[in-house]
Amino acid sequence: MKKLFPLVSERHKPARLVEQIRGEVKKYLKRERNKSLPDDHDYWGFNCRLGQESGSAKVCHEKEIGKSLDHALAEGWEAVYLEILVEPRKRGSK
């Protein structure tokens, strides 16, 4: 998923738009986790980046997306670029 979400709308307040983004991200992660894995992999890994635009997006963990969206709302950004790339991963040895 590579998408630019607007945080300015005539119909909705920015806080409501952030909640909509969170819901869409949650549905996307759930949908990707439910896909079948290749035989030699253990889980789905997510490479996430978030920023004002694609060039300035910084790497973040999937659990930090909510905090990053709150930061964007507090800073008064007009839009948020969110990139989530999925890849199968193996667990490391103990």
Q: Provide the residue-wise pLDDT of the chain in tens; the chain has 94 residues.
A: 999 999 999 999 999 999 999 999 999 999 999 999 999 999 999 999 999 998 999 999 999 999 999 999 999 999 999 999 999 999 987 7
Contacts of residue 17, Cβ cutoff 8 Å, sequence gap at least 6 = 5, 6, 7, 9
User: Residue 28: its pLDDT value, please?
Assistant: 97
Pairwise CA distance, residues 14 & 4, whole Å: 14
Residue 94 lies in a domain: no
Number of structural domains found in the chain: 1
CA atoms within 13 A on the CB side of 51: 8
Residue 11 lies in a domain: yes
Can you give the pTM of this predicted structure? 0.89
User: Residue 11: its pLDDT value, please?
Assistant: 95
User: Residue 8: its pLDDT value, please?
Assistant: 95
Residue 65 lies in a domain: yes
Domain that holds residue 58: 2-35+43-89
User: Residue 55: its pLDDT value, please?
Assistant: 92
